[in-house]
Structure 1
Amino acid sequence: MTAEFAFVEVTREKAVEISRAIAAAGRAWHIHALHPGCRFNPRPEGHCFVVEDTDAAETYCAFSDQPFTKECHELVQLLHGNSILNSDCSTGDAKDQPIVKSAAEAFAKGEKWHHHMMKPGCVLSPLPSHYVITLEREGSDEVETRTSDLPLDDTLREIELLYFKQYD
């Protein structure tokens, strides 16, 4: 399955520049790092970096054969605040949630995996009025999902910490 959504193709550098500009303007926005084979990736043979300017209803995509880890590390903190990657800020409440346990299991096994945090209005979201976190594990057709009417800060923090630990 390949996702279909309208986007403007930009370079890697332009995607970061756009993200910073949207944040500086105070508009609603978020990002996605879509890995090869990801069910949401419009070009699943490579990596895709998505910037959604929710307020302007614009979506930008950059494509590469290399992951967008460095860009995501910077921009996830710009988007959610520096505490998102600070384990000292974790309450520990989310560690027992099935989606967090699954991410921890995949990490411990050395499996390739990634996740998506979809805010209300996200072009990828199956429930566009909710906050949705999905987890995709390589080699599995199953996608684990957690939804809420409220931001999923602790759940996201636990998953982001594990995600970036894969690349240390």
Structure 2
Amino acid sequence: MPKIGCSLSHSETLLICAISSGTSIGIDCEPLNATHLSDLVIGDIRSTDDKIDMDPILSDFRSLVTWTAKEAYLKMIGEGLARDMRSLRLFVNSADAWVYDEVLCSLSKGVLNWSLSGFLVASFGPSLSDASFRSISSDCFEQAFLQKRYGAENLRT
């Protein structure tokens, strides 16, 4: 049986799922207006070796790109947020993200997708440059979660 990789992310009104056959995959999404990525948080995740070469129009999103790309990479390798993000070196242009992992001594390429209105999506693993993304309302997400957890008969309409 082939290995199936799966990664989920959600933020505000976006729920995104990436599935791959034969390899691991990681995905993360954040709203472009993310206010939870303060300078204090960014100091805890940014490596002094991170290089983010972006269009000047996108320069305000450096912190967002750092968080989103590194979280997607850590999901791909199965470590999630338990790992210190400062051990990852990030190299970014407007469309691609490269992460050098000091612990695993490996270099991985990811994709940054800016095409979803109001969101940045980062993915690592199989090429997702041709992937289609669909936004889902948070009400639908909550309804599906409650239905799965408590059963359809227990939900109010």
* TM-score bracket for the superposition, by shorter chain length: under 0.3
The structure in which a higher percent of residues are strand is: 2
TM-score by length of 2: 0.27
The answer to which structure, 1 or 2, has the higher relative contact order (CA under 8 A, 6+ apart) is 2
The structure in which a higher percent of residues are helix is: 1
Between structure 1 and structure 2, the one with the greater Rg is 2
